[in-house]
Structures are given as structure tokens and as C-alpha cells.
Amino acid sequence: MIPAAWLLWKLELAAAQKAGRVVDATYELKRVCILLYSSLLIDVDHLLSWPDIYVPDRCSINSHPLHSWYMAPIYFGGSLWAPAQPFFIGVFIHLLLDLLDCVI
């Protein structure tokens, strides 16, 4: 997640500079990191799974409410909202890694 945070931070700074806004780079880095790492809270839905919270061989895609395909349009729509964009990009990265875990 650190390379994603750095890339999103650079994109945020470039967009602000292009728009002519002066922003504090340290504040933006903290904001992007907090939003990106808070996307890991999507795993809270593992507590709702039944009968076991964690099963190593179970694919988490479509096994948990927040890891389902019908949530993808909501996550995509949220990624278009600029203030929360790092959060939703972090959710997409998380879901792609979970999908990779299902395939392998």
C-alpha cells in the first residue's frame, strides 16, 4: 500500500498545482495515507461471516457483504468523488488482492 499511497499523494499534489491551489504537502500525505489505510476496514465484514470468521481456503469475494460484486459499482462511484478517492482506490486494491488470492 505504500507505493499506492505515494502515487496518490503525487497525483493529488499535481492536481492541486494544476488548479493553482497552494497545499501543504505534509498534510496531503497524511490525508492520503489515512484514507488509503482506512480502506482496510472493509475486512470488518469478516466478523459477520458464518460459521467461522477466517477460513484459509475460502474465497472472500462473494463470501462477505462488503466483498461482493454488487458493491463494486458503489466503490467505483465513490472513486469518482475527489475527496474520498484514495479510500475507494484502496478498496479496489484490496478487492483485487482478495481476487488474486481466490485464483491462486
Task: Give the closest residue to 40 by CA, choosing from 2, 99, 93, 102.
Answer: 93
Domain boundaries, the chain: 2-103
- Under the banding of pLDDT at 50, 70 and 90, the label for residue 1 is low
Region 72-99 average pLDDT: 90
CA separation for the pair 102, 104 (Å, rounded): 6
DSSP string of 38-75, one letter each residue: HGGGGGGGGGG-SS-S--TTS--TTTSGGGSGGGHHHH
Q: What pLDDT, in 10s, does the model give residues 16-48?
A: 889 898 888 888 888 888 998 999 999 888 888
CA separation for the pair 52, 16 (Å, rounded): 46
Compute the mean pLDDT over every residue in the chain, rounded to the nearest whole number.
Answer: 87
